[in-house]
Amino acid sequence: MLTFDHVHFYYKKGQPIIENMSFTITSGEFVAIVGANGCGKSTIAKLIDGLLLPKEGRVTFESLDTSRPTDLDKIHEHIGFVFQNPEDQFITTTVMDEVVFGLENIRVPREEIQSRLDHALQAVQMENYLDAMPHQLSGGQKQRVAIAAIVAMRPQIIIFDEATSMLDPEGREQVLSIMKELHHQGMTIIHITHHMEEVLSAERILLIHKGRLEFDGNPMIFFETVNVGDYQLEQPFAVRLNTMLHPPSTLLMVDWKEMIRLQWSIN
Protein backbone atom coordinates (compact mmCIF):
# COMPACT_ATOMS: atom_id res chain seq x y z
CA MET A 1 0.00 0.00 0.00
CA LEU A 2 1.24 3.43 -1.02
CA THR A 3 0.11 6.36 1.08
CA PHE A 4 0.23 10.14 0.74
CA ASP A 5 -0.58 11.47 4.18
CA HIS A 6 -1.29 15.22 4.25
CA VAL A 7 1.60 15.96 1.91
CA HIS A 8 2.76 19.51 1.27
CA PHE A 9 5.47 20.33 -1.22
CA TYR A 10 7.03 23.41 -2.80
CA TYR A 11 10.17 24.08 -4.84
CA LYS A 12 10.24 27.71 -3.73
CA LYS A 13 8.91 28.72 -0.34
CA GLY A 14 5.60 30.54 -0.67
CA GLN A 15 4.81 28.85 -4.00
CA PRO A 16 3.07 25.60 -3.02
CA ILE A 17 2.93 22.86 -5.65
CA ILE A 18 1.25 20.12 -3.60
CA GLU A 19 -1.11 21.14 -0.80
CA ASN A 20 -2.36 18.85 1.91
CA MET A 21 -2.70 15.87 -0.41
CA SER A 22 -3.82 12.51 0.93
CA PHE A 23 -4.60 9.30 -0.96
CA THR A 24 -3.88 5.60 -0.78
CA ILE A 25 -3.11 3.28 -3.66
CA THR A 26 -3.49 -0.38 -2.83
CA SER A 27 -1.43 -3.17 -4.25
CA GLY A 28 -2.47 -4.24 -7.76
CA GLU A 29 -4.39 -1.09 -8.71
CA PHE A 30 -4.17 0.57 -12.14
CA VAL A 31 -4.33 4.30 -11.46
CA ALA A 32 -4.15 7.16 -13.95
CA ILE A 33 -2.95 10.58 -12.78
CA VAL A 34 -4.19 13.43 -14.97
CA GLY A 35 -4.23 17.22 -14.88
CA ALA A 36 -3.16 20.32 -16.79
CA ASN A 37 0.45 21.05 -17.73
CA GLY A 38 2.49 22.00 -14.70
CA CYS A 39 -0.16 20.96 -12.15
CA GLY A 40 2.33 18.79 -10.28
CA LYS A 41 1.96 15.26 -11.67
CA SER A 42 5.68 14.59 -12.12
CA THR A 43 6.29 16.13 -8.72
CA ILE A 44 3.87 13.60 -7.22
CA ALA A 45 5.67 10.78 -9.05
CA LYS A 46 9.00 11.95 -7.61
CA LEU A 47 7.50 12.22 -4.14
CA ILE A 48 6.24 8.64 -4.44
CA ASP A 49 9.69 7.40 -5.37
CA GLY A 50 11.47 9.44 -2.72
CA LEU A 51 13.34 11.51 -5.33
CA LEU A 52 11.68 14.50 -3.65
CA LEU A 53 10.69 14.70 0.01
CA PRO A 54 7.51 16.30 1.44
CA LYS A 55 7.94 19.58 3.28
CA GLU A 56 5.14 18.41 5.55
CA GLY A 57 3.28 15.11 5.81
CA ARG A 58 4.49 11.64 4.91
CA VAL A 59 4.83 9.39 1.88
CA THR A 60 4.99 5.73 2.78
CA PHE A 61 5.13 2.46 0.90
CA GLU A 62 4.27 -0.52 3.10
CA SER A 63 6.45 0.06 6.19
CA LEU A 64 8.96 2.22 4.29
CA ASP A 65 8.99 6.00 4.66
CA THR A 66 10.63 8.24 2.03
CA SER A 67 11.82 10.59 4.78
CA ARG A 68 14.01 7.82 6.25
CA PRO A 69 17.28 7.81 4.28
CA THR A 70 17.88 4.16 5.15
CA ASP A 71 14.57 3.19 3.46
CA LEU A 72 15.35 4.85 0.13
CA ASP A 73 17.26 1.97 -1.49
CA LYS A 74 14.40 -0.41 -0.75
CA ILE A 75 11.85 2.13 -2.05
CA HIS A 76 13.76 2.50 -5.35
CA GLU A 77 13.88 -1.28 -5.60
CA HIS A 78 10.13 -1.67 -5.15
CA ILE A 79 9.05 1.31 -7.25
CA GLY A 80 10.17 1.48 -10.86
CA PHE A 81 10.00 4.58 -13.02
CA VAL A 82 9.52 4.87 -16.80
CA PHE A 83 10.00 8.38 -18.16
CA GLN A 84 8.76 10.27 -21.19
CA ASN A 85 11.96 10.08 -23.19
CA PRO A 86 13.46 6.59 -23.36
CA GLU A 87 16.77 8.08 -24.58
CA ASP A 88 17.29 9.64 -21.17
CA GLN A 89 17.11 6.24 -19.52
CA PHE A 90 19.77 4.40 -21.50
CA ILE A 91 23.10 3.90 -19.84
CA THR A 92 24.68 1.11 -21.88
CA THR A 93 25.14 0.25 -25.56
CA THR A 94 23.12 -2.94 -26.07
CA VAL A 95 19.61 -4.03 -25.17
CA MET A 96 20.98 -6.93 -23.14
CA ASP A 97 23.38 -4.76 -21.13
CA GLU A 98 20.63 -2.27 -20.51
CA VAL A 99 18.61 -4.89 -18.64
CA VAL A 100 21.58 -6.63 -17.00
CA PHE A 101 23.08 -3.37 -15.72
CA GLY A 102 20.21 -2.73 -13.31
CA LEU A 103 20.24 -6.33 -12.10
CA GLU A 104 23.96 -6.26 -11.33
CA ASN A 105 23.40 -2.98 -9.56
CA ILE A 106 20.95 -4.54 -7.11
CA ARG A 107 23.24 -7.59 -6.86
CA VAL A 108 20.96 -10.21 -8.35
CA PRO A 109 22.83 -13.54 -8.26
CA ARG A 110 24.57 -14.32 -11.58
CA GLU A 111 22.60 -17.54 -12.12
CA GLU A 112 19.32 -15.64 -11.83
CA ILE A 113 20.23 -12.83 -14.23
CA GLN A 114 19.71 -14.85 -17.42
CA SER A 115 16.19 -15.95 -16.53
CA ARG A 116 15.20 -12.44 -15.47
CA LEU A 117 16.65 -11.04 -18.70
CA ASP A 118 14.75 -13.56 -20.84
CA HIS A 119 11.50 -13.03 -19.02
CA ALA A 120 11.68 -9.22 -19.10
CA LEU A 121 12.48 -9.05 -22.82
CA GLN A 122 9.73 -11.54 -23.61
CA ALA A 123 7.27 -9.45 -21.61
CA VAL A 124 7.88 -6.52 -23.99
CA GLN A 125 8.45 -8.70 -27.09
CA MET A 126 12.03 -7.56 -27.56
CA GLU A 127 13.70 -10.94 -27.07
CA ASN A 128 15.10 -10.87 -30.64
CA TYR A 129 16.98 -7.62 -30.05
CA LEU A 130 19.50 -8.75 -27.43
CA ASP A 131 22.52 -7.26 -29.21
CA ALA A 132 20.78 -4.29 -30.78
CA MET A 133 21.94 -0.81 -29.87
CA PRO A 134 19.17 1.02 -28.03
CA HIS A 135 19.78 4.23 -29.97
CA GLN A 136 19.04 2.51 -33.27
CA LEU A 137 15.62 1.26 -32.21
CA SER A 138 12.29 2.96 -32.94
CA GLY A 139 10.74 5.12 -30.23
CA GLY A 140 8.30 2.41 -29.23
CA GLN A 141 11.02 -0.25 -29.13
CA LYS A 142 13.23 2.00 -27.00
CA GLN A 143 10.44 2.52 -24.54
CA ARG A 144 9.80 -1.24 -24.43
CA VAL A 145 13.48 -1.86 -23.59
CA ALA A 146 13.28 0.79 -20.87
CA ILE A 147 10.24 -1.04 -19.48
CA ALA A 148 12.06 -4.41 -19.68
CA ALA A 149 14.94 -2.97 -17.64
CA ILE A 150 12.43 -1.98 -14.96
CA VAL A 151 10.39 -5.21 -15.12
CA ALA A 152 13.57 -7.27 -14.65
CA MET A 153 14.07 -5.57 -11.29
CA ARG A 154 10.70 -7.04 -10.18
CA PRO A 155 9.27 -3.87 -8.68
CA GLN A 156 5.83 -3.87 -7.05
CA ILE A 157 4.84 -0.54 -8.57
CA ILE A 158 5.74 0.97 -11.93
CA ILE A 159 5.14 4.68 -12.49
CA PHE A 160 4.86 5.63 -16.17
CA ASP A 161 5.37 9.40 -16.41
CA GLU A 162 4.03 10.43 -19.84
CA ALA A 163 5.78 7.30 -21.09
CA THR A 164 3.58 7.10 -24.18
CA SER A 165 3.56 10.76 -25.15
CA MET A 166 6.50 10.68 -27.56
CA LEU A 167 5.37 7.51 -29.32
CA ASP A 168 3.39 7.00 -32.50
CA PRO A 169 -0.07 5.39 -32.15
CA GLU A 170 1.34 1.90 -32.67
CA GLY A 171 4.08 2.35 -30.06
CA ARG A 172 1.57 3.87 -27.68
CA GLU A 173 -0.79 0.95 -28.13
CA GLN A 174 2.03 -1.55 -27.49
CA VAL A 175 3.16 0.18 -24.31
CA LEU A 176 -0.41 0.43 -23.07
CA SER A 177 -0.97 -3.25 -23.69
CA ILE A 178 2.23 -4.06 -21.75
CA MET A 179 0.92 -1.97 -18.86
CA LYS A 180 -2.35 -3.90 -18.89
CA GLU A 181 -0.51 -7.21 -18.96
CA LEU A 182 1.76 -6.22 -16.05
CA HIS A 183 -1.31 -5.09 -14.12
CA HIS A 184 -2.98 -8.39 -14.94
CA GLN A 185 0.04 -10.15 -13.41
CA GLY A 186 -0.52 -8.23 -10.19
CA MET A 187 1.72 -5.21 -10.52
CA THR A 188 0.54 -1.78 -9.39
CA ILE A 189 0.50 0.62 -12.34
CA ILE A 190 0.52 4.40 -12.01
CA HIS A 191 0.04 5.98 -15.43
CA ILE A 192 0.55 9.73 -15.74
CA THR A 193 -0.87 10.84 -19.06
CA HIS A 194 -2.52 13.50 -21.18
CA HIS A 195 -4.14 10.93 -23.45
CA MET A 196 -7.67 10.49 -22.29
CA GLU A 197 -8.19 7.41 -24.49
CA GLU A 198 -5.55 5.71 -22.33
CA VAL A 199 -7.28 6.76 -19.15
CA LEU A 200 -10.18 4.48 -20.08
CA SER A 201 -7.81 1.59 -19.33
CA ALA A 202 -7.36 2.64 -15.71
CA GLU A 203 -9.52 1.49 -12.82
CA ARG A 204 -9.15 4.78 -11.04
CA ILE A 205 -8.37 8.37 -11.97
CA LEU A 206 -6.71 10.97 -9.78
CA LEU A 207 -7.23 14.48 -11.17
CA ILE A 208 -4.75 17.05 -9.89
CA HIS A 209 -5.62 20.76 -9.93
CA LYS A 210 -3.88 23.65 -8.21
CA GLY A 211 -1.91 21.35 -5.95
CA ARG A 212 -4.94 19.45 -4.78
CA LEU A 213 -6.73 16.23 -5.52
CA GLU A 214 -9.79 17.41 -7.46
CA PHE A 215 -11.23 13.99 -8.30
CA ASP A 216 -10.57 10.44 -7.19
CA GLY A 217 -12.74 7.73 -8.69
CA ASN A 218 -13.41 5.47 -11.64
CA PRO A 219 -13.31 6.60 -15.30
CA MET A 220 -17.05 6.30 -15.79
CA ILE A 221 -17.88 8.72 -13.02
CA PHE A 222 -14.96 10.91 -14.08
CA PHE A 223 -16.22 11.46 -17.63
CA GLU A 224 -19.81 11.81 -16.45
CA THR A 225 -19.14 14.40 -13.80
CA VAL A 226 -15.92 16.27 -14.63
CA ASN A 227 -15.77 18.94 -17.32
CA VAL A 228 -12.36 17.86 -18.58
CA GLY A 229 -11.95 21.00 -20.72
CA ASP A 230 -11.53 22.98 -17.50
CA TYR A 231 -8.27 21.10 -16.95
CA GLN A 232 -6.76 21.31 -20.46
CA LEU A 233 -7.85 17.73 -21.09
CA GLU A 234 -9.94 16.23 -23.88
CA GLN A 235 -12.71 13.71 -23.73
CA PRO A 236 -12.04 10.32 -25.30
CA PHE A 237 -13.59 9.85 -28.73
CA ALA A 238 -16.36 7.52 -27.57
CA VAL A 239 -17.40 9.88 -24.79
CA ARG A 240 -17.27 12.90 -27.14
CA LEU A 241 -19.42 11.17 -29.69
CA ASN A 242 -21.93 10.36 -27.04
CA THR A 243 -22.08 13.94 -25.81
CA MET A 244 -22.53 15.26 -29.36
CA LEU A 245 -25.73 13.28 -29.80
CA HIS A 246 -28.90 14.97 -28.56
CA PRO A 247 -30.44 13.45 -26.63
CA PRO A 248 -27.45 11.39 -25.53
CA SER A 249 -27.71 7.87 -26.82
CA THR A 250 -28.01 5.35 -24.07
CA LEU A 251 -26.62 2.84 -26.52
CA LEU A 252 -23.35 4.69 -26.98
CA MET A 253 -23.16 5.65 -23.34
CA VAL A 254 -23.36 1.95 -22.64
CA ASP A 255 -20.70 1.48 -25.29
CA TRP A 256 -17.82 3.32 -23.65
CA LYS A 257 -18.83 2.16 -20.24
CA GLU A 258 -19.00 -1.33 -21.65
CA MET A 259 -15.50 -0.85 -23.04
CA ILE A 260 -14.22 -0.26 -19.54
CA ARG A 261 -16.26 -3.10 -18.10
CA LEU A 262 -15.23 -5.59 -20.76
CA GLN A 263 -11.62 -4.78 -20.28
CA TRP A 264 -11.71 -5.77 -16.67
CA SER A 265 -13.86 -8.83 -17.12
CA ILE A 266 -11.83 -10.29 -20.00
CA ASN A 267 -8.51 -9.90 -18.20
Ligand X SMILES: Nc1ncnc2c1ncn2[C@@H]1O[C@H](COP(=O)(O)OP(=O)(O)OP(=O)(O)O)[C@@H](O)[C@H]1O
Residues that bind ligand X (CB under 6 A): 11, 17, 35, 37-43, 162
Complex with Mg ion: residue 42 or 235, whichever CB lies closer: 42
Three-state SS annotation for 82-124: ECCCHHHHCCCCCHHHHHHHHHHHCCCCHHHHHHHHHHHHHHC
- H helix or E strand, kind and range, residue 23: strand 15-25
CB of 114 to ligand X, least distance (A): 37
Complex with ligand X: residue 40 or 57, whichever CB lies closer: 40
CB of 124 to Mg ion, least distance (A): 23
Complex with Mg ion: residue 122 or 232, whichever CB lies closer: 232
Complex with ligand X: residue 180 or 209, whichever CB lies closer: 209
CB of 43 to Mg ion, least distance (A): 8
CB of 191 to Mg ion, least distance (A): 12
Helix crossing, 139-151 with 110-123: angle to 10°? 140
Residues 8-34 as b/e (b if ≥16 CB within 10 A, e otherwise) read ebeeeeeebbbbebebebeeebbbbbb
Contact between 4 and 216 under an 8 Å Cβ cutoff? The reply is: no
Residues in the chain, total? 267
Which of ligand X, Mg ion, none has residue 248 at its interface (CB below 5 to 8 Å by kind)?
Answer: none
Which of Mg ion, ligand X, none has residue 116 at its interface (CB below 5 to 8 Å by kind)?
Answer: none
- H helix or E strand, kind and range, residue 135: none
Which of ligand X, Mg ion, none has residue 39 at its interface (CB below 5 to 8 Å by kind)?
Answer: ligand X
Complex with ligand X: residue 37 or 225, whichever CB lies closer: 37
